Amino acid sequence: MKIAIVGATGLVGTVMLKVLQERNFPVTELLPVASEKSIGKTLIFKGEELKVIGMKEAIRQKPQVAIFSAGGSTSLEWAPKFAEAGITVIDNSSAWRMDSSKKLIVPEINADILTKEDKIIANPNCSTIQMVAALAPLHRQYGIKRLIISTYQSITGTGAKAVKQYEAEKMGQPLSPSEMAYPHTIFANCLPHCDVFMDNGYTKEEMKLVNETQKILEDPKIRISATAVRVPVLGGHSEAVNVEFENTFDIKDVHDLLEKTPGVTVTDNPQNNEYPMPLTAHGKNDIFVGRIRRDISSDKALNMWIVSDNLRKGAATNAIQIAEYLNTKGIIGK
């Protein structure tokens, strides 16, 4: 299969190349695609040196699938052009997620709704993916009424500029305002500020958790409130999630449900200091869930701690799993 990675030189694009190799995706030809300034640069895939090409050349070469991770404005401009050429686009930006004509996919939950007519498929936000993967089986069993979410999000979710800021601050190196990804120091600090603030006082990141969760779980009645925090961590995103159900539940049954959920690993033995952490989730494709306990203030609520590598399951791995599903079902291919 000929596959294009749009944004191949970025943080997520680099991880996509690793995940394609690790999962033995049937790539016969890989097209690394990036912006004009990166055209002609080289990168290595499966031991082979490949030259980065531009958008027009990628369309001309007609890959079966193009996985985009190059930002919303790029996706809005170019994804339709790829789709018009018959190329299936899996887009990792926020550009198409809430478009009612586009499907928002976490393969373990709703890949079965995809058809050959879906030429632009949206990959959810990283913090949404890891949460809904753990919540979906519980919603089916007990009915989620309300979610209160606090996130602790890795700087890698912002991109390479944020990592450079963190590293410079750690070394005590001065930075100009233009070199900073954040309005404040991130090293040894926490910023209750992910993405831009909106008129309702929430940030875009917080509202993504609201809107995308309702869309993926197909339930606009779920009430959701989120606070998204950027923390000086490289390995992944963490989330403290309070879930209120319509129905009563047993904690052991919740454990059993999660342990049977594909892509979820339960790590919940606090007596032995075993619980999910970004350090141990880093470089892994699973979603890790722990600190599962009944909310002592509400009979029908529980607390969970959910951790995942945001560059993997939160972005690259989820997108490639979508491509794998499309390939297995014959939606894309020869």
Distance CA 144, CA 94 (A): 25
255 part of the active site: no
How many whole angstroms separate alpha carbon 120 and alpha carbon 66?
A: 10
Active-site residue, selected from the candidate residues 126, 139, 194, 282: 126
> With contact defined as beta carbons under 8 Å apart, do 332 and 88 qualify?
yes
| Six-digit token string for 281 | 């989730």
Ramachandran sector of residue 332 (left: φ over 0; alpha: ψ -120 to 50; beta: rest): beta
Burial of 21 (0-12, 13-18, 19+ CB in 10 A): middle
CB 276 within 8 Å of CB 306? yes
The residue type found at 139 is: H
Alpha helices in the chain (DSSP H): 11-22, 55-60, 72-84, 107-110, 126-142, 160-170, 204-216, 251-259, 278-281, 317-328
Residue 198: Cβ within 10 Å count: 11
Decide if 126 is catalytic: yes
Q: Are 5 and 33 in contact (CB under 8 A)?
A: yes
Instruction: Give the number of other Cβ atoms within 10 Å of residue 24's Cβ.
Output: 7
Q: C-alpha distances in angstroms, 8 versus 3, 12, 18, 55, 225?
A: 12, 8, 11, 12, 34
- Residue 204 CA to residue 206 CA, distance in Å, equals 5
- The single residue of 193, 237, 255, 282 carrying the catalytic annotation is 237
Length of the chain: 334
- 94 in Cβ contact with 208 (< 8 Å): yes
Tokens of 90: 């899996």
Closest residue by Cα to residue 87 from 70, 66, 61, 111? 66
Which residues are the active-site residues?
Answer: 126, 237
